[in-house]
Each structure stands twice: as structure tokens, then as C-alpha cells.
Amino acid sequence: MHDMSAHAAHHHAPPTSFIRKHVFSLDHKVIGKQYYALALVAALCGMALSWFMRIHLAWNNAAIPGLQLLSKNGAPGGVMTPEYYLQLMTMHGTIMVFFVLTTAPFAAFGNFFLPIQVGAEDMPFPRFNMMSFWVTCTGFVVLMASFFTAEGPTLGGWTQYAPLNAVGPIGGPGQGTGVVLWAASIALFCVGQLLGSLNFIPTTLDLRAKGMSLMRLPLSAWAWFITSCMGLTAFAVLMPACILVILDHVAGTSFFVASNLVMNDQLLPHSGGSTLLWQHLFWFFGHPEVYIAIVPGIGIVSHILITNMRKPMLSHRVLIYSMGALAVLSYMVYGHHMFVSGMNPFSSLAFSFPTLVITIPSTIVVLIWTFSLYGSKLRINSASLFALGFISMFVSGGVSGFFLAQPSIDIMLHATYFVVGHFHLVMGVAAMFGIFGGTYFWFPKMAGRMMNETLGKIHFWLSFVGAYCIFMPFHYLGMAGNVRRYSTFVDDFLQPLIPVHRFITIAALITGAAQLVFLYNLIHSRFWGKPAPDNPWEATSLEWSTATPPPFDNFGGKLPVVYHDPYQYGVQSSAGDYVMQASPEQVKTEHEEK
């Protein structure tokens, strides 16, 4: 009887063949790991590109060994042309934003842990889930394929502004086939993420275990849920925009190219397209995308910190509401990317106001973290260090946002390294620290083995100091007038800044090399790490109450029942100072004792 119902509880049997188990798997945990692997490969590609760019910026004529193999025309003798610099920059941005910062914290960890944290056996639509990964992976392959076309990848920047994105080969190398491949890749990515949302939202709403009310969801689960709602809205707008770009290329339509446009002494055949239209469509996606990258990090970091502080956050609800407010407001601020686009000044004001308002939920989140940390006996380990690093980067990068939110200051700082420093800290490095923190925290559950803590701490300190050495000087460069997207700095006023660029490049090379420590730790621990117990961090949420690594159906044929709020730490129970969500044991919390 027991065995029969256990079998019936899961709607697809465990696979037996290698292909169904590891390649075309329907299991959300395998799909989560596949997303993680994809993000890891993408991050290494993106990092290598940033190295090439940094070396070129610091030493313009230096030959980079091996670069000529990537593109004979783009880097003759290993020295990159200005166009090839832009092509590498575009690919760095696209790979990092889409295939790392969206893929790892949301799709990878979310796929693996959301069903377990809500107490479900799997996502409701495993086939769509599998499709989601493979469509995303195809998107990545299509994007990387543009490296191997005759002209190389597109050079239009990850924002692909019109009309450059739609004029065709006359716009420069990679503006023909490269853009089409870029747009096709991003459209595929959008389909993949929409299929992801299709699973994440019903998982959270409908598949929760008995007793798992919405407010009993861990903060990480909330973050993935909110992010999937954002993704649903954002990617559904970017996809049509990409379709219109592709049509401008292959069907001769004129959606984005204005009339009478002369480029390279040639009058373009297009008529009357709107260049601003692309910016509106892109940034309606683009700004929420920033929060799609960072909100999972907020959830993951809160989850890690609470476990290591051994006490809940000051307010569970306010944190959730703040993440929700970030999601809603993120759709009302996108025009702040377009202050210098020639928009009506009143529009700038209308976008500036919510941009300043969005700092309120961000500040509330940071204050809750800070005051919850105050006086707590934080357990220092690699995961909690990266969580603290996340807060540091989020604040440092966020503060410069106050300046950029104001049109009058933004007009001066727009398209300078100040902006580059701002978004790299607040959404790039911060989100990466969230990914690292999540990896150190959840690796035992995902791989069944512990990671090396000493190497983890070395990795943290090198990354933490390194990231500041790279991105803090960016702000100085920007204020000194150093424009972004230039491959060489030949103006007189930029010459004194070259030593700063060299310092940044050296810091980037060292910080990048430090990531090899992480990579070594990851691979070594995966095969030879100490076997992990079921609940190494003495945590409370459901992922820690199942076996390590979790069985195929997550809970061994029995769905858990939830009796407690997610973060019952600082209590006295038979287990210690915490009581797990799935434990029926009655405990008195500190709050109740008072």
C-alpha cells in the first residue's frame, strides 16, 4: 500500500538511460544543474572577453597571444581593431547579462531549489522545463556561432541601439549576420525564460506542501517567484522587439531605420522608422532585467544570512513586500536610460521620480539586513562572507545610482565609465556574489559533497578586494570624462588616465585568475570533497529535511507537511537552536516568551 502510493505520487518514473537521466532530463534538479553548467561556461567566456578588452585598453598595441585565431580580420597579429573591440564588448555584455546573471541565480538555483523549498516533487510541466533549458542552450550556441561568421559578432553593444541594429552590413562588421544571430539568440532566450516562468509561477502558487502558506515560503523562494513574474512581463516584450529587428534585416521592413539615413556615403533604402521605438521596447525589458538579475540574489543572500545569524530577519514580510515593490517599480523607471535620447524633458522628470522612489525599497532591504546583522553572532563561512560581500557591492553600486537618477547629472555622466562602474557593481558583481554565496551554501545539497572552506575564503577575499580595485576607479574615470565604448584613448585629457586603466587591467587579470580557485574548488569538491550530511548548516527550510543529494522525487515518495515559519532559529528544540519547517515539534520562539 505504502509503496504503491509512493509510486503514484510522482507523475513520471525515474529515467534509466543516460540520455534521459543527464541530457534530456525532466527532473528539475538535473535541469537546474544544466543551467548552472551553462552559466559557468558562459561566465568563463565572458570573463575571457573582458580580459582581452582590458589588456587592449591598457596597452593598445600589445598583441594578445591566440586572439588572431579567434578572428584573423578582427585581430591581425593578435592586436584587435577598434571594431573588434566593440564586437568583444557586445558579446561580453550579452553573454554576462543573459546567460550568466539571469541564468545562474534564477534559472539554475531556482530550478533546483524552488520545488524542494515549496515541498513539491517537481515542477508542474517537466517537459516545458526541459524545453526551457534546451531552448536557452540553443540560444547560447547561436550567439557563440556569430564568432565564426565571416564578419564576426555584432558590434552594437548589448543594448543594440537602433538604427545601427537594423541597417545591415553597412553599419560595420557583424551588423549583418551578426545582428540576426544576436536577435535570434535573444528571442530563443526569451522563449526559454518564458517557459521557465510558466513552471515557476504555478509551482509556487499551486504545488506547495500542506501547511506551506505563502508567508511560510523562504525568502529565496519568494525571490524566485517575484523574478519569474518580472521575467514573464519583460521577456514577452523583448521577444517581439527582436522579431521586428530580424524582419528589418531579412524582410526589408522599416521598423527602426529612419528615412534619409546616409551611412558610409550611401543613402539607405529604409523609410520613416523610429529609432526611439527600439529604445522604448528594449528598456521596458532592460530595466526589469537588472532586477531579474539582482532580486534572486537578494533572496539567496537573505536565506544564507538568516541561517548563519541563527535568527530571522527583523521583518520577513517587509523584505517580501520590498522585493515586490522593486519588481513593480522596475517597470516604471526604464526611461532613465534615455535621458539623453531627446525625450520630452517632462518624460525625464516622470521617469526620474520613480527612479528615486525605487531606492526606498532597496534601502529598506539593506537596513533590514544591517540591523538584523547588528549584534548577531554571524557564523563566518564562505557563503556568509559572499552574502556580506553582496550587501557591500549592492550598497556601493547603488549609491552611485542616486546621482544617475537625476537627469541633470546624468546628462554629464551618461556614457562614461561612471555608469559602467555603477552597473558592474550593483548588478554585475553583486549578482555574481549572490551566485557564489548560493554555490557555497547549496553545493552540499546539489552535489552531495562539501566544498573546501579555506579555498572558499581565499576566493572571497581575492574577489572582494579585486572587484573594488577594478570598479571603484571606474567612477573616477567617468567623472574625469572618460567615455565608455572607446577602444583607445588618444585625446590629451585622457592620457593622464591611462595609468588608472593599467591598474584596473592588472586588478582584472588577478581577480579573474582568482576565479580559477573557485573553479578548482568546484570541480575538486564535486568528485573528491568530503561527503555532505543532510543538513550541514543546521538550517530549517525543506531542502535540508530531505536526503543529500535529494532523491528523484525530492522527498522519497512522501510529501512533507509544514508546521513552522521558515526561519525558526534561536529556539530551544530537540535538534538545537532551530526547528525545521517539517518538524511537528512545538517550540516557543523568543518572541512568544516575551
- How many angstroms separate the CA atoms of 118 and 579, rounded? 17
Which range touches other proteins (CB under 8 A), out of 51-59, 280-288, 396-404, 507-515?
280-288
Q: Which three cell numbers stand for residue 389?
A: 560581500
Q: Which three cell numbers stand for residue 479?
A: 567623472
Q: What's the closest the beta carbon of residue 232 comes to other proteins, in angstroms?
A: 6
**Residue 63 · residue 78 · CB < 8 Å:** yes
- How many angstroms separate the CA atoms of 484 and 92, rounded? 14
Which range touches other proteins (CB under 8 A), out of 86-94, 162-170, 202-210, 521-529?
202-210
When asked if residue 281 is in the footprint of other proteins (CB under 8 A), the reply is yes
Q: Which three cell numbers stand for residue 40?
A: 559557468
For the CA atoms of 347, 351, 352, 354, the dihedral, rounded to the nearest 10 degrees, stands at 150
According to CB under 8 A, which residues from 397 to 456 bind other proteins? 450
Q: What is the per-residue binding string for other proteins in 204-223, x denoting contact by CB under 8 A?
A: -xxxxxxxxxx-x-------
When asked if residue 273 is in the footprint of other proteins (CB under 8 A), the reply is yes
Which range touches other proteins (CB under 8 A), out of 33-41, 86-94, 199-207, 509-517?
199-207
Q: For residue 403, how far is the Cα from the chain centroid?
A: 24
**Residue 557 · residue 536 · CB < 8 Å:** no
When asked if residue 343 is in the footprint of other proteins (CB under 8 A), the reply is no
Q: Which is nearer to other proteins, 124 or 401 (CB)?
A: 124
- How many angstroms separate the CA atoms of 190 and 132, rounded? 9
According to CB under 8 A, which residues from 131 to 160 bind other proteins? none
Element spanning 178, H or E: helix 177-206
When asked if residue 586 is in the footprint of other proteins (CB under 8 A), the reply is yes
* Candidate list 555, 566, 567, 569; residue touching other proteins; CB under 8 A: 555
When asked if residue 546 is in the footprint of other proteins (CB under 8 A), the reply is yes
* Candidate list 360, 576, 588, 590; residue touching other proteins; CB under 8 A: 576
Which range touches other proteins (CB under 8 A), out of 69-77, 177-185, 335-343, 583-591?
583-591
Q: Which is nearer to other proteins, 66 or 272 (CB)?
A: 272
Q: Which of 484, 482, 483, 437 is nearest to 456 (CA)?
A: 437
* Candidate list 255, 334, 369, 418; residue touching other proteins; CB under 8 A: 255
When asked if residue 130 is in the footprint of other proteins (CB under 8 A), the reply is no
Q: How many CA atoms lie within 13 A of 12 on its CB side?
A: 15
Q: Which is nearer to other proteins, 499 or 556 (CB)?
A: 556
Q: Which of 198, 290, 288, 186 is nearest to 240 (CA)?
A: 186
According to CB under 8 A, which residues from 282 to 341 bind other proteins? 284
Q: What is the per-residue binding string for other proteins in 512-541, x denoting contact by CB under 8 A?
A: ---------------------xxxx-x---
When asked if residue 571 is in the footprint of other proteins (CB under 8 A), the reply is no
Total residues contacting other proteins by CB under 8 A comes to 80
Q: Which of 196, 289, 274, 198 is nearest to 237 (CA)?
A: 289
Per DSSP, 146 falls in state G
Q: What's the closest the beta carbon of residue 231 comes to other proteins, in angstroms?
A: 10
Per DSSP, 122 falls in state S
* Candidate list 159, 253, 315, 487; residue touching other proteins; CB under 8 A: 253
Q: Which of 373, 399, 406 is nearest to 388 (CA)?
A: 373
